[in-house]
Amino acid sequence: MKNADSRLTVITFELAGAMLAIDAAHLQEVIEPVAVSPLPFVPPFMDGLVNVNGQILPQVNLSVFMAKDADALPANSMDTLLVVDLHKTQLVLKVGQVFEPCDIDVDAIHAVDDNPAIRWQPETLAGTVDYLQQHLLLVNVQTLERIVSQRQAAPAVGETPGFLGKASDREIEQQTLLDYLLVEYQQRTYAFELDEVKEVLDISTYNELHRGEDWVLGVSLVHETPVLLLQLAGLLHGDTINTVSDSTDMLHVLLVQAEGVYCGLVVDAVTGLCQIREDQLLIDKRAEHPTLQFDDGQMVEVLPVASLLNEDIRAHIEPWQPNLRERQQVQQIPTREYLRFFIDNDAYAIEIQAIQRIVGLKQLTPLLDEHGFVLGTIELEGYVLPVIDLDLQLGYRSQGVDGSEYTEYVIIDDDDGYSWALAINHTDDIVHVPEPAIDNLLATDSLISAYARFDEQLISVLNLSTLCRQNTRPERVTA
């Protein structure tokens, strides 16, 4: 950013103990460090991908990029991220502490010689200038953009995709280039348009949905939002669905959105980025999806998000889909009270207003039930109440039990004046959840009525009306 008097406005920052500066005209934003999704097959200076305001950008470790010997550099006193726009490339620079903008005299900038005492590669420096008794080194943004943008026009699958390799013989500036994210799933390579992937992240915990489709793994809390996790095989015709093992430490997930559905696609691995020419995107009306044709002849199927989350798929997952639009309609911040409890480490809740009382174990009279969800009946103050096996109805078991492993009964009064009991193994506590943290499901007949976000935890709120309808309507019988 040059002023009329030949002065340049720069942003100064600390980098491995040195003071550097970059033209302020390229700066878009200064942010705190965010989660990084690493990528294989990229240079050491490329940390990975980060999500900045919903946009996926590559993050460059500037000290590693510029240094002659990165291992010999001291660590930054703190880490800060600069979001920059370098003409044709937008990226994030990882630097140290960032200071206020300042104006420097353009005529006072001197070239940098390849002095062995300087620990930075000379081609990464645009010059040096003295400012307020400080020695400022100016980052060469042209070199930064050229090296980071040196991608193969179409890298071979399995070779180094994105950010590596020699530039294409054609002039990249004269071509329309398309960015794709490459993933591995069931020993096949697929491509997603980079703009359609909101974020790439690893998820270690999620609540299982046992009674949904087998390709709907569950729901996880991501950035304070409940997100459905879908196995990619369930969205592809003819693919076999693999069961995710309980020993799986981490799920690799692509966050995507289409037609109001916000969900995570579980893949085996994210293998990298690639940039292809527009003429290498092949669209065959006879094929379900487009195809990328690489220069070595290999073909990779493109998976458009809108095609994967088509009307039929949306109908299958609608019973578990939170209505995120309701968040914008909440004007006040009232709270709702829930009784929280756990089934196999998954958190569930019942609205307090529906609970009459909680009682300890009582003598259970077995009862044959065509659904198998009713354990039997108990007597309470002269009334006979049916007891529902909640674990079985939610799909945590495939067959009923005698009820001896439960510790408490939660007595429910429904809207029609009927009373019944839920068998629960240890209630936890009463939680007060703000209404903006509650996402009601789009469907009204699901076993779950809402997802509540509380204390960095996702809680599934039971739909008592559906629970009751799926069992024989209890008659209040006097003992």
Rounded Cα gap, residues 275 and 409, in angstroms: 59
Other CB atoms within 10 A of residue 78 CB: 12
Q: Is the CA virtual torsion 65, 66, 72, 73 positive or negative?
A: negative
Asked whether the beta carbons of 252 and 270 are under 8 A apart, the reply is yes
Over residues 364-393, mean pLDDT: 79
Give the residue extent of every domain in the chain: 7-148, 172-320, 325-478
Asked whether the beta carbons of 10 and 56 are under 8 A apart, the reply is no
pLDDT (tens digit per residue) in 452-473: 998 888 999 999 888 877 664 4
Give CA torsion, residues 412, 418, 422, 428, to 10 deg: 0
pLDDT (tens digit per residue) in 133-145: 778 899 999 888 8
Note the pLDDT of residue 134.
Answer: 78
Over residues 115-122, mean pLDDT: 78
Over residues 439-454, mean pLDDT: 87
Over residues 98-103, mean pLDDT: 89
In this prediction the pTM is 0.52
Rounded Cα gap, residues 327 and 339, in angstroms: 23
Range name among 22-26, 159-163, 342-346 with the lowest pLDDT average: 159-163
| CATH number of the 172-320 domain | 2.40.50.180
Cα 270 from chain centroid (whole Å): 13
Note the pLDDT of residue 191.
Answer: 92
Q: Identify the CATH class of 7-148.
A: mainly beta
Please determine whether the domains at 7-148 and 172-320 fall in the same fold group of CATH: yes
Q: Please, what is the average pLDDT of the chain? A: 79
Domain 325-478 has CATH 2.40.50.180: yes
